[in-house]
Amino acid sequence: MTSHFLDTTRLVDIILVITVLECAVLLAYTAWTGRGIRAADLLPNLLSGACVILALRLAASGAEWTMVGACMLASLAAHLADLRRRWRG
């Protein structure tokens, strides 16, 4: 028997909150110290991951496949934007 705390959607919610907190802390650190990861370097990468996690959350809760697909497409777009920005040559 699975504990309510270990419910998949609750765990995914916790991961999403941690991701948002990570982003806020990293951006605040950079703003306060002038060192760290610039927003342009951080946001596309975290957005891509957050969209995949959100797609998992939606799938686990029985959402429409179109919503899951939209999150996956948003993740792909953020990932491609990150790759384009980092591409050398």
Q: Say what the pTM is.
A: 0.83
pLDDT digits (tens, 9 = 90+) for 34-89: 999 999 999 999 999 999 999 999 999 999 999 999 999 999 999 999 999 989 76
Alpha helix ranges (H) inside the chain: 8-33, 39-60, 65-86
Nearest to 37 by CA among 7, 45, 18: 45
CA-to-CA separations, 26 to 31, 33, 37, 45, in angstroms, rounded: 9, 11, 7, 13
Which residue has tokens 């948002």? 20
Q: Percentage of the chain surpassing pLDDT 90?
A: 82
Nearest CA to 30 out of 22, 38, 18 is that of 38
